[in-house]
Every structure is written in structure tokens, then in C-alpha cells.
Structure 1
């Protein structure tokens, strides 16, 4: 599944190839409670057709009306600011006095959208540098952790899989969770040396690896934009991979399982050369407590936690599976979202 931003780029290229005029708008700054984050994009065709989003809808309506009235007039990039005063904030649906700034860019062959899409198809992380004076574009590889930059001279946007997710285990829960991760713009790898699981995989867009999980972690070299999630319930597959992942800067390392299994896993990992801080970083049982019972509900629970950690949100302990079930008096053998029961019968 394409992310929204990738869909914007693909549709833009299709419109350009069909000879249509296209205006690309990118959110470059926000103040207050702006409805869309920095980097959000939309593409607007010369007849008012639109893909993507930069607000809750009102700013899109204003851009559509402007293009339908005047056409795509500017030949060079420009800047628009919405929500400077209370009247604009009300008119454009910006809550709490929110303000956002857009860079608008009339697209052409020199915009290099087709080249950018080819680089993204290779799985590359790309800087797209737009000269705000001339409209010229330069494409170059971007380092992990890159973010949008803008000044009076240039807009540098970042495209590609900024976050990676390694999932250990190729069961039904993994398939559903990976579909969600793809929609959330993760580059997803599934590792499982068991052919009876991996041979049945049917989700496109995921890299499949048959090596042992700890070797896969070593090869992946997780960085601060990486997450590692163990879902097999098999210590022979999970433990060494988790040990290797906990020694890396990965922003999230976790394992599915019951509170009892999680305690036993931690005791096993204490036997290895992990520091107390590294062991403390292990998340398990993974997910936030939503009373999940089905694989889809469990996947939502786990991905919600991963996204929260990625976004720097500190979740209250009571939202965690272990704390919540302790407060509810749930049996210790019950798994995170009943995953063990689902897997084994």
C-alpha cells in the first residue's frame, strides 16, 4: 500500500505525462495546533482535481478555488501562510489559532518527479532540494534521521522509508501487522527461517528473509529509525535476535507474549552480556491495552505503541498491557491480546 505522500508523487507524474498542469504544495512550518504535520503534501491539477492533504479541508478548498479561477499562474515556487489572524483561523479551520506555511511549486520536467520515484522504487532515502528562486531541483541520497529543511533560498524535503521495522516471525498476526506498518510508511522486513511459515506469505511490499533472526539483526544494523519486533514465541528464534537488537540504537525493541513469558525471557537475557539499561529497554508484553482478542486487534495495539514511541509520546504505564492487566486482575498466563491462545488453538 502506498503512503499518502508517495501517492501524491505518483499521481503528479501521471498528470504531468498526460500534459496537465500540476501544483505541488508542501507544509513547511506550523505554529499552534495545525491540522497536518510538516512535510505533508498535496498535488492539485489544473482543473481542480486533488490528491493528498495539507489541512482538514478548508485550505484545500481555497487552493482549488484559486486554481479554478486563475489557473496555475506562478511559474516559480511561492509561499503561502494561512491562519495569521483569528478570521483566517476560523475560515480555514485551524484550531486554537493554528498557523501553517506552504511552499507551492508548479511542476514541470525540471521538477524531476519521475527520477525521484525511480529512486524511491529502489528503497532509497532521498533529499529533494528545490531552489525557491529558480525552481531547479537536485536529488541526492539522504542520511537516516533526515528531516525537512527550509530557508529563504531552498526547500529540502525527505522522501523514502525513513523508518524500518524488522518483524521476526511470519504468522497471521505478522501479516496483518505488516500491512498496517506499510500504511504507516515503514520499510518492513520479515525474518523467519521456518519455510512452513514464510512459504505461505502473501503480502506484497515486504522484504522476506530466511536467515536466522540474530544474523538478520546484525545485517540490518538497526539505527535510531529502526524497530525490532519478535512474534514467534520461540526462544531459539527470539532471544538471540532481541539480545543483538538491544545493543543497537533501535528506537523500539519488543516481544509478544504473556506476562509470565516476558518475565522468563528477561531472566534468560540476564545471562547474556546486556547492561541493565539495555535490558530495561526491552518492551514486553508489547502493545497498549485495548482488550484485544483477535490478530487484527493485537496488531492495532502493537502498532499504536510503536508509533507512539516513534513520535516521542510518553505513554502512561497504565496503558501498557502488563500494568493494565495487573490492575484488572487478569490471569498471569493470559497473553498480550490472547496471542498465544490464538496461535496454538
Structure 2
């Protein structure tokens, strides 16, 4: 897990531990078209160094100027900053016509909550941070994947940690590329591979291993509407076990690596094993968007493009449609 928000908070912690002044900005409301969604974060160090993003760049420049000209003076725990109220201001800050966004400007004094939040996220927990604007007080609470940012003008509640999960069946080379890219997209990456020889090289924490056979792993993680499951071993004894269970779950995406011919044979096997036609129809295979992918990194890119499209509500072709995705017919 390595989201942009967590990188911002890691910098906040490091800067404060080094004795630097730090301002933390969070997008809390947007109207019309806005360059960054609610929840986007930026940290600004006392010398003007920044990490994160709340716009395409112009607002970041103004936040630096606010720091330098004294508008962001110490002594105010939390302030609200609004950009794009007028058409002229929207144009000045590079916002689309009619776009407006509101930020909280928060001076970070106590870092205990930052360290605790990071530790809980590293432990694969979802954490909600509540900020009281009047006092600047911060508290942490358990959260669920369905939670969203809430702001009522007095209190901000934001959720941290990956709310989307990707379970990969198989720990081979392709899974390594998929896992690294998925982490950058804020997915929690899970791996199941009962073959002990394939565990080498995953010591860096890119993914969390789920023990047991693939069908047991699928059951163990309790797939929901924010879970994607992809079988990548090319071994029917492993892939089919996972697919039989995954296709009957609530996972929003279930796919399996293979050519058109192999994908057709897989569907025949699943039918022979008693899986209902409606469940088989959910299977994505060949996986990925048709970008002419051949090498593992390109196949990973096409796969994650398809998963993200569905995650964002963009309909793809029917799962059974023919796609190359790096696999010969």
C-alpha cells in the first residue's frame, strides 16, 4: 500500500520531526469541474517545499505565496480557503469554467495522530480521521471500504488506506508488475500462491500473502463490490479453483490470463464443474483492454486499465468478448 495521501502524511511526519513548520491542506468541497477530488492532500513546509497536489499547479503557487506573505500566519489551528468563486478567479487559478474548490488549511503541531494513522494503514487497516475545525483537534476511528469523505462546515471526516483490493492468484513475474502498478493506484494487493518457490522476491511488502489454496483464499478475504480477483498462474488446477469461488462472489471484476482459445476451454471446464452460465459470463478473459500488449509490463497495464475503468463506472466490452491482451489466439 503506497497511496499519494500516505506519502503526503509521511512527509508531514518527517518534516515535523525535523523541527519544520508544516501546513496540511485537504480538498473538502468542489463545485462544478475541479482539478482534484475531495480528499486530495498537499503538505507545505515552512520553507515553501511541498508534496501532494490540490490542483494543476496554480493553486499550489498561491498557497506558497500565502505562506510567504503572512496570510498563513501561525496561531490559527484550521482555516478554510476557497478558490474559483468568480469567473475571473477561476481563470486566474487555472480552474475550469465554473469550477470551485474549498480547502482546509491546517497547521500540524501534534504528530502523534500522524504516526498512529500511518501505522494503522501499514497494518492494512482503514482509518477515518476526524478534524474539528474550531479547535484543530484530531481523532482516529475505524472505517469501512464504503465510507466517503464528509464535511459539514464544522468537522471533516476523511478515510485513509486502500478501499479497493486486488487478489492475484499466482506470484509469478506478471503478478509482480501488476502488484507494483496496483499499489500506485491505491489498491491493497493480495497474493495467493501455494507454490512455495514463487514466494521469493516479494519480501519488499508489495503484496500481502493469503495462505491456503486459491479457493480458500477467495473465501477468506470475503470479496465485496470493491474487490477484483485475477488468476494468473496458467495452471487450471489453481486458476479454476479460484474462479469457481470468485465468480459466485460479489467481486466487481474476475479475470483469468489466457488466449482466446484457452479462455474458451476454461469456460467449458467451469460449465462442466457445474458453474451457472450467468456466473461464467462474468469472467473476463482474455483479460485487459486491447492495446496490443505483449510483454508483462504491457499486459499489466492493459489489465489494470480495464479494472480501473470498471471501478470508475466505465463499461467495457462484455467479459466474453475477444481481446488480444498479449495472448495469441
TM-score by length of 1: 0.89
Cα distance, 1:293–1:119 mapped onto 2, change above 3 Å: same
Q: Tell me: CA distance 1:287–1:321, structure 2 relative to 1, closer, same or farther (3 Å).
A: farther
State the match for 1:337 in structure 2: 326
Q: Verify the 8 A CA contact 2:91 2:97 in the aligned structure 1.
A: no
Secondary structure class of the residue paired with 1:37: coil
Offset at residue 199 of structure 1 (A): 3.1
In structure 2, the residue matched to 1:237 is: 238
Q: d(CA) in 2 for partners of 1:85 and 1:111?
A: 39
Matches within 5 A, 1:173-212: 173-201=174-202, 203-212=204-213
Number of residue equivalences: 328
Q: Does the residue aligned with 1:13 lie in a helix, a strand or coil?
A: helix
Q: Quick check: 1:116 aligned with 2:117?
A: yes
SS of equivalent to 2:47: coil
- The answer to whether the Cα contact below 8 Å between 2:46 and 2:67 also exists between their aligned partners in 1 is yes
Give distance in 2, aligned partners of 1:227 and 1:135: 38
Residues 1:69 and 2:69 are matched in the alignment = yes
Kept in 1, the 8 Å contact 2:284–2:320? The answer is no
Structure 2, unaligned stretches of length 5 or more? none
1:330 is aligned to none
Which region of structure 1 is more displaced relative to structure 2, 245-254 or 122-131?
A: 245-254
Matching of residue 10 in structure 1 with residue 10 in structure 2: yes
Counterpart for residue 32 of structure 1: 32
Contact 1:286 1:321 in 2 (8 A): no
Paired residues for 1:250-265 under 5 Å: 250-265=251-266
Structure 1, unpaired ranges of 5+: 326-334
> Which residue of 2 is the match for residue 57 of structure 1?
57
2:300 counterpart residue number: 299
3-state SS of paired residue (2:174): helix
Q: Tell me what 1:308 maps to.
A: 309
Rounded to whole Å, the distance in 1 between the matches of 2:161 and 2:136 is 22
Distance in 1 (alpha carbons) for counterparts of 2:314 and 2:26: 25
Whether the aligned pair in 2 keeps the contact of 1:48 and 1:64 (CA below 8 Å) is yes
Deviations 1:60-81 (A, max 9, x none): 0000000011154352222222
| Alignment match, 1:247 | 248
1:110 positional shift = 6.8
SS at match of 1:112: helix
1:120 deviates by 1.4
| 1:296-329 Cα shifts (integer Å, max 9, x gaps) | 11110001111111111223x39x8944x5xxxx
More displaced stretch, 89-98 vs 214-223: 89-98
Give the secondary-structure state (helix, strand or coil) at the position aligned to 2:24.
strand
Contact preservation (8 Å) 1:116, 1:139: yes
Distance 1:101 1:276, change over 3 A: farther
Alpha-carbon distance change, 192 to 110 in structure 1, aligned in 2, over 3 angstroms: closer
1:76–1:305 distance in 2 versus 1, CA, 3 Å: same
Deviations 1:206-257 (A, max 9, x none): 1134521111111111112211110111111011211111222112111111
What are the superposed Cα offsets for residues 33-77 of structure 1, whole Å, 9 maximum, x if unpaired? 211122110001122110100000000000000001115435222
Provide the C-alpha distance between the structure 1 equivalents of 2:228 and 2:243, rounded to a whole number of angstroms.
11
- What does residue 149 of structure 1 align with? 150
* 57 and 209 in structure 1: CA distance in 2 versus 1, 3 angstrom threshold: same
Please report the TM-score for the alignment, with normalisation by the length of structure 2: 0.93
Contact 2:16 2:111 in 1 (8 A): no
CA distance in structure 1 between the partners assigned to 2:240 and 2:55 by the alignment = 44
Provide the rounded CA distance (Å) in 2 between the counterparts of 1:276 and 1:72: 64
RMSD: 2.1
